Structure 1
Amino acid sequence: MAIAVTALFLSCTSGPQDRKVTRETYFDIPAYFQGEIARLTQEKPVVDKTVVKDSLSEAKEIQVADWENELSSFASIDLNKPAYAGILKKDSTANKVRITSSDPKIDITAVEIEYGDSGEPVAFHIQRNIQNSLYETHETLYYARNKKYSLEKHQSVLILGDKYYHIKGLFKNQTAPEKSPGH
């Protein structure tokens, strides 16, 4: 009888604080890009940079002075935000991981991470949609380590109309850009 009472007592004392809810964790994109920012700041690569705003375009060969600002859109993508818990879906192949969401309440539509033979990420393709009562933004980010990066943004702002931005950087250590759809 004493054993039964002890067992009953012990089973009643474990409260919710003892139960841990596990949720899937995803690749730490902000940490990766902080590492890239530090590396690029130190290496100071030359970049062929093209900026398009609506119908105006400008291209220059530059050394980016502020990589933190240049890659801030990439570094801000955090798939491990509590708001994304249970909403994102993950699909993997041998060298790619694709994370998607069809929930209009969050900004992430799709993130694709491509891995090289060493298991390290070599490319990111990110799609975001942001909608509220004042504006709607569709953003596509692409980053291929030591090759190129791009940010394309279509924005419709109530009263102000539509805006289009496209920023593309090609690292000069490449002889020619690899062709990939939409980049």
Structure 2
Amino acid sequence: MLFSCSQPGKPIKTDTYFDLAGYFSREAERLSRLNPDILKTVSRNGEQEQKKLRVTNWKNELELFELSDINKPAWRDSYSVKQSGSSVSYLSNDPKLRTREIKIDFDDAKKVKHILIVNKSDNALYTSDETLNYFPDSAYSIDKRQHVVLIGNNDYLVQGKLKF
């Protein structure tokens, strides 16, 4: 009779691309601890409102960024990776994927300086284009344009400027 000392292992998650979900999860925790003031501007179809506030749920606030993570097993070969200087870009090879582009700029210390995300989704009834920008310790923006058949167009812009 043979016995083995090894136990069946759990699959280890290895990220093929930059871990966007992990990064924004850590940012949400960090910003919750730091609790900065935010000058938040929200506009819908040109009507604008601005408030100074404190975000009570950073996980919610950064959710669209985190949901743009492209590290799914089915998408392992779905993005082309381009490295240029201190930037890395991930470009979708499949026009059906929601996240079309992610570009990350790093500073000299290899810390994230800027993240750009371009999302697009469409079907027979709906088209949506999103451009997300994140500058750690500085600002973030969500620019969303959508067209819904029979309802029309809506443009949304959310900008947050962090004040420490």
TM-score, normalised relative to structure 1: 0.79
Runs of 4+ in 1 over 3 A off after TM superposition: none
Conservation of the 8 A alpha-carbon contact between 2:39 and 2:50: yes
Residue 101 (structure 2) aligned to one of 106, 110, 113: 110
Distance across 2 between alignment mates of 1:83 and 1:128: 18
Alignment pair present for 1:32 and 2:30? no
Alignment pair present for 1:47 and 2:38? yes
| C-alpha deviation, 1:129, in angstroms | 0.5
Residue 128 (structure 1) aligned to one of 110, 119, 130: 119
Structure 2 equivalent of residue 56 of structure 1: 47
Distance across 2 between alignment mates of 1:150 and 1:98: 19
| C-alpha deviation, 1:122, in angstroms | 2.0
Distance across 2 between alignment mates of 1:37 and 1:169: 14
| C-alpha deviation, 1:165, in angstroms | 0.5
Identity among equivalent pairs (%): 33
> Can you give the 5+ residue segments of structure 2 that lack an aligned partner in the other structure?
1-13
Q: What amino acid does structure 2 have at the position aligned with 1:130? A: S
> Can you give the 5+ residue segments of structure 1 that lack an aligned partner in the other structure?
1-22, 174-183
Aligned length: 151
Q: Which has the higher contact order (CA 8 A, sep 6+)?
A: 2
| C-alpha deviation, 1:86, in angstroms | 1.6
| C-alpha deviation, 1:24, in angstroms | 7.5
> Counterparts of 1:16-165 in structure 2 under 5 Å?
25-165=16-156
Q: What amino acid does structure 1 have at the position aligned with 2:17? A: Y
Choose between structure 1 and 2: higher helix proportion: 1
| C-alpha deviation, 1:117, in angstroms | 1.4
Distance across 1 between alignment mates of 2:74 and 2:48: 37
Choose between structure 1 and 2: higher strand proportion: 2
Conservation of the 8 A alpha-carbon contact between 1:84 and 1:106: no
Q: CA RMSD in A?
A: 1.4
Alignment pair present for 1:167 and 2:158? yes
Larger Rg: 1
Distance across 1 between alignment mates of 2:115 and 2:22: 14
Conservation of the 8 A alpha-carbon contact between 2:80 and 2:93: no
Comparing 30-39 and 55-64, the one that deviates more: 55-64
TM-score, normalised relative to structure 2: 0.87
**SS at the partner of 1:97?**
strand
Distance across 2 between alignment mates of 1:154 and 1:70: 19
